[in-house]
């Protein structure tokens, strides 16, 4: 079943509002644990509560519009809209970024090795795979990681894994 862009946007809005609702709950739960004000009238819990209420109030018109758009019938030409393309390359790059951060943080993989592999993977995810591009990105990653490692270690006194 094909879904129109308007309905997809409405579903996206409702998904966002669900996340906001979770966030608001976190704000209220966190604020409930905070002590009552002693030295000043407002106290530490006031801002989370104020923002929680504000977020709920601002979510209402968005939720109302989204539900109305979901319930409303699509116009006849909505079926002819071009399908929404999934950002495959963006997803691949994001996956590579997660793996890179995890390798550096949890895996304690050496910075030069992790960076070289990451530049090669993300570069190929964006530009496509060929023998030439593999070699170019490996050299680019190696050069970049060696230069960064040298600059950060010797001049900025920052050490990577």
Partner 1 sequence: MLDAFAALFQWQNLILLVGGTALGIVVGAIPGLTASMLIALTLPLTFRMDPVGAVTLLIGQYVGGISGGQITAILLRMPGTPASIVTTFDGYPMAQSDRAERALALGITASVVGGIISWFFLAGMSPSLAKFALQFGPWEYFTLVLMALVMLAVLAQGSLAKGLLAAALGMAFALPGIDSSIGQARLTFGNSALLSGFGLLPVLIGAFAISQILRDASSPRTTKKVKVSRRKLPIYISDIKTHGPNMLRSSVIGTWIGLLPGIGANIAALVAYSTAKQLSKEPEKFGTGHEPGVVAGESANNSSIGGALIPLITMGIPGSVTEAILIGALVIHNLQPGPLLFQNSPEIAYGIIAAYLVANFIMLVMMWGAVRQIAKVIYIPKGMLLSVILVFCVVGSYAVNSNFSDVWVMIAFGAIGLVLEATKVPLGPFVIGFVLSPIAEEQLRASLMMSDGVWSDILDRPYALFFLFLALATVAWPMIMGRLAQKNKKSRS
Contacts of residue 11, Cβ cutoff 8 Å, sequence gap at least 6: 3, 66, 70
Using CB atoms within 10 Å of the CB of residue 115, give its burial: 0 to 12 exposed, 13 to 18 middle, 19+ buried: buried
Sketch the per residue contact string, 44 through 83, with partner 1: x for CB under 8 A, - otherwise.
x--xx--xx-xx--xx-xx---------------------
Cα 99 from chain centroid (whole Å): 15
Instruction: State yes or no: residue 129 binds partner 1 (CB under 8 A).
Output: no
User: Which of 89, 148, 86 lies closest to 121 in space, CA to CA?
Assistant: 89
Q: For residues 2 and 139, which CB has a smaller minimum distance to partner 1 in the complex?
A: 139
CA distance 142 to 103: 16
DSSP 34-58: SPPPSSSSS-SSHHHHHHHHHHHHH
- Quick one: which of 69, 109, 117, 137 contacts partner 1 (CB under 8 A)? 137
Give the dihedral sign, CA 84/90/91/92: positive
Give the shortest CB-118-to-partner 1 separation in angstroms.
7
Instruction: State yes or no: residue 12 binds partner 1 (CB under 8 A).
Output: yes
Sketch the per residue contact string, 89 through 128, with partner 1: x for CB under 8 A, - otherwise.
xx-xxx--xx-xx--xx---------x--xx--xxxxxx-
Instruction: Return residues touching partner 1 (CB under 8 A).
Output: 9, 12-13, 15-16, 19-20, 23, 26-27, 30-31, 34-35, 38-42, 44, 47-48, 51-52, 54-55, 58-59, 61-62, 85, 87-90, 92-94, 97-98, 100-101, 104-105, 115, 118-119, 122-127, 133, 136-137, 140-141, 144-145, 148, 152, 156-160
């Amino acid at each position: 079943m094909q879904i129109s862009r308007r309905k997809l946007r409405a579903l996206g809005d409702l998904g966002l509002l669900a996340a906001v609702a979770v966030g608001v709950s976190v704000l209220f739960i966190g604020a409930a644990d905070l002590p009552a004000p002693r030295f000043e009238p407002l106290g530490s819990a006031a801002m989370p509560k104020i923002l929680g209420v504000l977020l709920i109030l601002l979510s209402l018109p968005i939720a109302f519009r989204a539900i109305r758009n979901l319930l409303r019938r699509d116009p006849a030409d909505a079926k002819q809209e071009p399908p929404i393309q999934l950002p495959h390359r963006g997803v691949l790059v994001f996956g590579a970024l997660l793996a890179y951060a995890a390798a550096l943080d949890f895996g304690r993989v050496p910075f030069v090795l992790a960076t070289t592999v990451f530049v090669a993977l993300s570069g190929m995810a964006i530009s496509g795979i060929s023998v030439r591009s593999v070699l170019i990105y490996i050299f680019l990653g190696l050069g970049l990681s060696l230069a960064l490692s040298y600059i950060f270690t010797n001049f900025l006194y920052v050490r990577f894994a």
